[in-house]
Amino acid sequence: MRYFLPAQITAPEDIQRVISDLGQGHRGNLAPLEENFLFYAPYWRMQANVYRWIFGQKPMKAESAGPGFAQPMEKIKILLTRLMDHTIPGYSDVHLGLFNLGVRPQALPLQPLHQNHLKDGMKLLPLDISLDKVKAEARRYANLFFEAEDIQTEVLLQESIGEKFSIIYSPIWLCRGNKESHNNFFLIDALGKKIISMRDEGETIINKLREKENPPALGFSELIFLPLRCPNCGWPFPFRPFSLLHFCEVCRRLWTEKKGVWREVSYQVFALPSENFRKEFFWVPFWRWRLRIMVGRECLENMGDFYRFAPPPRAFNQQQEKKKPIFFYIPAIKFRDPKQILVIASRLTYFQPQINSISFPDGYRPTTIGGSLMAEDAKDLGIAILGYMIPAASRQARNWLKNCQLEMTEPELFYFPFQKTDLFLKESSSGLAFQYRSLPEDLPVSAPL
C-alpha cells in the first residue's frame, strides 16, 4: 500500500510566516520568494518483529581469579526481541535534508494514496529504490540491537517475523527566490514547519518531478473495502482489529482476505467427547508444521532424534518417540509479550498431542479467539522456537545449531478448546495455560448455544 501524510503548511502565505518565525539568522540568507509549490517525497517503511537468540558465555559474578588463572565463565542464552519500524528514502540522486520520517508514521494519521489524488494534481517525487534493495536494508536494520559487551557469542539465531513494506509520501515545499541575479532554492518540511535544506539544485528536483516511475507505482494496490460478513451465509464477522483469520460462528467456516477477496481457510478441530461441546469453550487456533532438521548429511525427522538435542521436561521412551514425526505447534495468535508465543509453542510441541480431528457438530456456535498470525509468519517463528527449546549449557546442541537447517512442510490449522479459569485460559488435555490478559484484545463474548 501507499500512503501520504497531510501537509501542515497548506497555503503559500503560511510559508512566509514560517520563515518569519525562524529568526533573523535565517532571514538574512533567504531571497524574496518568487515561486513555490508543494510536492511529496516517497519513503519506504519497513516493519517486522525481530527475534534474536544469543548462545554464548559471560564471566561469572565471582571474585577475581587472581594472576595466572582464567576468569571463570558460565554458559548462557539470551533472547532479544524488538519491533522494527524504520523509514528510508525511496528516491535517489537528490538531497532533500530529510533522511527518515522518525516517529511520524506512528504518531500521525496516514491517508491512503489513490488515483484521485494524482488526478487532482498532487506532485510525487518518483520512487526509484527497488523493493529488493529495501529488503536488504531491512536485514541490516534488523541487526541493530543493544547487547551486553561482556557476552562472547558462540551461536546466533535470528529471524524477522511479519515483514511489511509500504510507501509513505511526506510533504515538502520547494521555494525559489531571486538574489543577486541567480536562483536560490530552499526546502521547507511541511510537517515539521522548518527549513530542511538550502541548496542550488532546485532544477534537479523540478526535472525529477517531471519523470515517471518505472515501472509505474511499482505494482502497489489500491485501497479496497470488503464487507465484514461471511461470504457464504452473510453473517457478520466480529470486529477484531488484530485478526487476519475470521471465523463465522453460524456456518463455521474460516476466511481470510487475499488480494482484495475473501478466501476460505481449511481447519480441523481437536477431538473431544461430543458432550463436551456444550460447555463454554474458547477455541484457540494453532498452526501445525511438520519439521525436518538437516545437520550436514544427517536428517532429524522423528521426536526421538529431536529429544537428543532438546530434551523434554519429563521422562520419555526413546524407541516410542522415534516412531513419531516432529510437529511444531505454533499459536496463530499474537501476545503482548513477544516471548509468550515461544513459551506456549514449545510446551505444546513437547506435549505432542494425539490429533484425532473432527468437525464442529451441527448447531454448535463456537467462540473463537481471532487468528492474527498467518501460516508463513508461524513458519518463520520456527527457528526462534527451536532456540527456546535448546538447553543453554549443552555443548553438543550448540555445535549442532551452528550448521542446522530447518525444513518445515505440511501446514495445518487446528482449533484447541480452552476454558477460562480465574485469570487463565487452560487446555485440559495438555494442561497448557496462559493469562488471557496477555492477549492484545479482550476475550470475545460466548455465543448462546
* Residue-wise pLDDT tens digits, 24-46: 444 445 545 556 788 899 999 99
Top pLDDT among 140 and 217 is at 140
Question: What cell numbers appear for 439 in the block?
Answer: 492477549
| pLDDT for res 404 | 85
The pLDDT of residue 217 is above 70: no
Query: How large is the average pLDDT for residues 279-298?
Result: 89
d(CA 10, CA 6): 9
Give the model's confidence band at 20: pLDDT under 50 very low, under 70 low, under 90 confident, else very high.
Answer: low
Q: Could you give the CA distance from residue 115 to residue 105 in angstroms, rounded to a whole number?
A: 21
Distance separating alpha carbons of residues 381 and 337, to the nearest angstrom: 15
**pLDDT at position 286, please?**
96
Give the residue-averaged pLDDT of 223-232: 89
User: Nearest 5°: phi and psi at 258?
Assistant: -145, 120
Q: Which residue has the higher pLDDT, 211 or 256?
A: 256
Mean pLDDT along residues 274-282: 71
Question: For 107-127, what is the mean pLDDT?
Answer: 83
Q: What is the pLDDT of residue 181?
A: 44
CA-to-CA distance for 158 and 360, rounded, in angstroms? 38
Average pLDDT rounded to a whole number, residues 324-335: 93
Residues 33, 366 contacting (CB under 8 angstroms): no
- Range 98-123 average pLDDT: 85
More confident residue, 119 or 232: 232
* Res 193: pLDDT: 79
pLDDT digits (tens, 9 = 90+) for 37-86: 888 999 999 999 999 998 888 887 765 556 666 677 788 888 989 899 99
pLDDT higher for 119 or 384? 384
Look up the pTM and report it: 0.85
pLDDT classification of 379: cutoffs 50, 70, 90: very high
Amino acid 133: pLDDT: 92
Q: Return the closest-CA partner of residue 403 out of 313, 305, 300.
A: 300
| Mean predicted confidence (pLDDT) in 85-101 | 88
